[in-house]
Structure 1
Amino acid sequence: MRRPIGQPDDLLDARREERPPRGGRHLRRGRRARRRPRRAPRTVAHRRDAPGHGHGLDGHRPRRAPRGDGPTGTPSRSRDRRSRVSGAWIAAFVAVSLAALVTLVLVLGLIRQLGGILERVETLLLDAEGLAPLHGLPVGSPLPSFQATTAAGGTVSDADVRGHPGIFLFLDVDCAPCRALLDELSDDDGPPLPVPLYVLIEGTTEARERLPGWIVTINPEATSLPRSFRSSVRPNAIAFDARGVVVERSTPNAIDHLREMAERIIIAEVEEGRGRAERQRGEGPPVGAMEGSEREG
């Protein structure tokens, strides 16, 4: 800087100090070289943690309210929104669960109704095909001719069962009432039936091995036996008298039903024997004539 003529040096130095530096390319380069390194900008957290900011008189920071709560302790809008959303999800889950449960109950009830309808349809179809009655031979019909093997290794035929009353019982292990009746027969500690009981079980051999010894178990290989007896429902019991004539048929669900059936057969046999004795004493027609009329009928 050139000094003007007639101006002292002190005044020139004072003006130089007061005058701001002129701009220019060379000056900007010099300032950039002397510029201090930039610091990271201070955030709200820095100002909040700075000394004296948000602290009490003792220098300690006061405890803040839980996040999301207002100054009065009421829930904030975000928390209300989250609670409403979670409540809606819970309500939707409960509604879907109840709907699934109701649907399951309705489906089970429909399946039960369809089972009964299908059984009726099967009965009608078999009746139309001439296979009825389904519960066995009609009362009063003679036993069919048959021959089958027993689980003990013997044989049984229509000639063997004639001469004394008895009951044929047809079961299937896939039938729930049949399984219940098998369990009752296996665990029964009472006396045996007063008449022979012939049982044919379709299915596994475990159920046949559990039956007591007084029951005559027929091997299921004799598949023609149920067809000969016209038995297509399970369980099915067919009772016959000493002459080999069917006197009763039923669908037993317990061993007590079989005992009652056997008792009725015995009572009928006793009454028939008493009638024969009375006829022999002359109180009725001759026995031979009566038997001849029965054969003709």
Structure 2
Amino acid sequence: MFAVGLLWMSAALASPAVAGIETHSASEVAFLKQVAIPPEYSVAFESQTGRVIPFAQFQAEMALRPFNIIKGTVHHRATLKLESDEAIARSKQAARRASALPIQGQPFPAFHASTIDGKPISLAGLRGKPFVVNFFFALCAPCIAETPVLSQFHAAHPRIPVVAFTFDDAKTAREFARAQHFNWPVVADQDALAKDARVDVYPTLMLVNAEGVVTKAAHSDSLRTNAGPLSLADLERWASPDSSLTSDAAGQRR
């Protein structure tokens, strides 16, 4: 089941009649923090038909379908709405037709930061070799689902670094990386970088060449060739036109 969270920000609240939720449970507060909803905002959760639902129901259903975030900055309101089956079908069709993202063919945004392990990392430091970029966040079910595939890819292509970026804070990212057994660099607090890279759907994957140019960029779900989860074959098929990846894989499998 397609379950990527589409983060769509709007200057005006789409459903002014929806009543805001003034108090939040601990788990709800944590979730709203993860998706960058300011604490002073009133929040409403909606089903795919536009009906207001409790957070617990929304949380259970968001693992199975995408959701939109609509912010009204003037009145400090936010609506989180699950996508309808029709919208999901349209998204899948659009993804199949054109999975490439606008940043493809453009330089990856310059950055200089520290990983969650305290090690410096920058675009300049990565130049000279291709690398794979993974944009994720801890409460993203599809991000969790694709982690084993990224691990397989990393093992099959050890000379191709994988670098993960998240808007989560360092503590959250560190706990997630530990639980999912990440063995590649993770950089937290990167909401600004994600915006510069025009990432609005999670998870998103990019392939950056030795010159720092994004040669491939796609939403992970669009890489699947069947109804099942993303596979190593899907990921390698997507990356295969890059000769560095192809030769590395061949060398690894001899």
TM-score interval, normalised by the smaller of the two chains = 0.3 to 0.5
Q: Which has the higher contact order (CA 8 A, sep 6+)?
A: 2
Structure 1 or 2, whichever has the larger Rg, is: 1
Return the TM-score normalized by structure 2: 0.48
Greater helix fraction, Structure 1 or Structure 2: 1
Higher share of residues assigned strand: 2
